[in-house]
Amino acid sequence: MLIDKIDHPDRYVPGVEKVEIVQRFADDDIERIMHTNSGKVVHEIIVANRQTYSVLFKLVDDPVYSGFVLNTIFAEGGKVWLDFTLNWTPKSGQDPDVGPDWRQTIHAAVEHTKQLAEQG
Protein backbone atom coordinates (compact mmCIF):
# COMPACT_ATOMS: atom_id res chain seq x y z
CA MET A 1 0.00 0.00 0.00
CA LEU A 2 2.81 2.47 0.82
CA ILE A 3 4.52 1.80 -2.52
CA ASP A 4 1.25 2.27 -4.42
CA LYS A 5 0.75 5.60 -2.62
CA ILE A 6 3.91 6.97 -4.28
CA ASP A 7 2.45 6.93 -7.81
CA HIS A 8 -1.24 7.06 -6.87
CA PRO A 9 -1.78 9.45 -3.95
CA ASP A 10 -5.31 10.09 -5.24
CA ARG A 11 -6.25 6.63 -3.90
CA TYR A 12 -5.17 7.58 -0.37
CA VAL A 13 -5.35 11.36 -0.02
CA PRO A 14 -8.88 12.75 -0.35
CA GLY A 15 -9.16 15.70 -2.72
CA VAL A 16 -6.17 14.93 -4.96
CA GLU A 17 -7.21 15.66 -8.52
CA LYS A 18 -3.93 15.70 -10.46
CA VAL A 19 -0.54 14.02 -10.01
CA GLU A 20 2.58 14.86 -12.03
CA ILE A 21 5.60 12.58 -11.89
CA VAL A 22 8.36 15.11 -12.60
CA GLN A 23 11.24 12.64 -12.44
CA ARG A 24 11.73 8.97 -11.61
CA PHE A 25 15.07 8.27 -9.90
CA ALA A 26 14.39 4.55 -9.36
CA ASP A 27 11.33 2.26 -9.18
CA ASP A 28 10.17 3.64 -5.81
CA ASP A 29 11.98 7.00 -5.76
CA ILE A 30 10.41 9.97 -7.54
CA GLU A 31 9.88 13.69 -7.69
CA ARG A 32 6.16 14.43 -7.70
CA ILE A 33 3.77 17.39 -7.80
CA MET A 34 0.31 16.79 -6.38
CA HIS A 35 -2.66 19.16 -6.94
CA THR A 36 -5.80 19.13 -4.80
CA ASN A 37 -9.32 20.19 -5.71
CA SER A 38 -8.97 23.11 -3.26
CA GLY A 39 -5.99 24.54 -5.14
CA LYS A 40 -3.26 23.22 -2.84
CA VAL A 41 -0.02 22.12 -4.52
CA VAL A 42 2.57 19.82 -2.92
CA HIS A 43 5.95 19.32 -4.56
CA GLU A 44 7.90 16.38 -3.08
CA ILE A 45 10.88 14.10 -3.43
CA ILE A 46 9.72 10.62 -2.38
CA VAL A 47 12.02 7.78 -1.39
CA ALA A 48 10.91 4.28 -0.36
CA ASN A 49 12.98 1.86 1.69
CA ARG A 50 11.69 -1.70 1.43
CA GLN A 51 14.07 -2.94 4.14
CA THR A 52 12.62 -0.59 6.77
CA TYR A 53 9.07 -0.58 5.34
CA SER A 54 9.11 3.20 5.14
CA VAL A 55 8.42 5.98 2.65
CA LEU A 56 9.77 9.52 3.06
CA PHE A 57 7.92 12.47 1.47
CA LYS A 58 10.24 15.52 1.53
CA LEU A 59 8.83 18.95 0.65
CA VAL A 60 10.47 20.81 -2.24
CA ASP A 61 10.24 24.60 -2.71
CA ASP A 62 7.21 24.98 -0.44
CA PRO A 63 6.63 28.70 0.19
CA VAL A 64 5.71 28.26 3.86
CA TYR A 65 7.16 24.99 5.20
CA SER A 66 10.29 22.89 5.10
CA GLY A 67 10.23 19.29 6.24
CA PHE A 68 8.94 15.83 5.54
CA VAL A 69 6.30 13.19 6.21
CA LEU A 70 7.48 9.66 7.02
CA ASN A 71 5.16 6.63 6.68
CA THR A 72 6.47 3.49 8.38
CA ILE A 73 4.96 0.04 8.85
CA PHE A 74 5.81 -1.69 12.14
CA ALA A 75 5.22 -5.37 12.93
CA GLU A 76 5.83 -6.61 16.46
CA GLY A 77 4.28 -9.25 18.66
CA GLY A 78 1.84 -10.39 16.00
CA LYS A 79 0.49 -6.85 15.51
CA VAL A 80 0.98 -4.52 12.55
CA TRP A 81 0.53 -0.76 12.57
CA LEU A 82 1.25 2.21 10.34
CA ASP A 83 2.99 5.28 11.75
CA PHE A 84 2.67 8.70 10.11
CA THR A 85 5.28 11.23 11.26
CA LEU A 86 4.79 14.83 10.19
CA ASN A 87 7.82 17.10 10.56
CA TRP A 88 6.98 20.42 8.93
CA THR A 89 8.53 23.65 10.22
CA PRO A 90 7.40 27.12 9.14
CA LYS A 91 10.12 28.92 7.22
CA SER A 92 11.53 32.07 8.78
CA GLY A 93 9.18 35.01 8.31
CA GLN A 94 6.28 32.82 7.14
CA ASP A 95 2.92 32.63 8.90
CA PRO A 96 1.48 29.11 8.47
CA ASP A 97 -1.99 30.36 9.45
CA VAL A 98 -2.17 32.35 6.19
CA GLY A 99 -1.69 29.33 3.89
CA PRO A 100 -3.83 26.25 3.37
CA ASP A 101 -4.77 24.12 6.38
CA TRP A 102 -2.48 21.16 5.74
CA ARG A 103 -3.29 19.61 9.12
CA GLN A 104 -6.84 18.93 7.98
CA THR A 105 -5.64 17.46 4.66
CA ILE A 106 -3.05 15.23 6.31
CA HIS A 107 -5.50 14.07 9.00
CA ALA A 108 -8.04 13.13 6.31
CA ALA A 109 -5.32 11.21 4.40
CA VAL A 110 -4.31 9.28 7.52
CA GLU A 111 -7.91 8.35 8.32
CA HIS A 112 -8.63 7.30 4.73
CA THR A 113 -5.47 5.16 4.57
CA LYS A 114 -6.40 3.54 7.89
CA GLN A 115 -9.85 2.64 6.54
CA LEU A 116 -8.33 1.12 3.38
CA ALA A 117 -5.83 -0.92 5.40
CA GLU A 118 -8.56 -2.25 7.70
CA GLN A 119 -10.67 -3.31 4.73
CA GLY A 120 -7.78 -5.48 3.60
Domain ranges in the chain are 2-119
Which pLDDT belongs to residue 15?
A: 86
Task: Label residue 17 left, alpha or beta by phi (over 0 means left) and psi (-120 to 50 means alpha).
Answer: alpha
Which pLDDT belongs to residue 6?
A: 92
Q: Over range 35-48, report the average pLDDT.
A: 93
Q: For the whole prediction, is pTM greater than 0.75?
A: yes
Q: Taking 80 as the threshold, does the pLDDT of residue 95 lie above it?
A: no
What is residue 105's three-state secondary structure?
helix
* Higher local confidence (pLDDT), 103 or 98: 103
Which pLDDT belongs to residue 25?
A: 97
Q: Taking 60 as the threshold, does the pLDDT of residue 24 lie above it?
A: yes
Instruction: Tell me which CATH homologous superfamily contains domain 2-119.
Output: START domain (3.30.530.20)
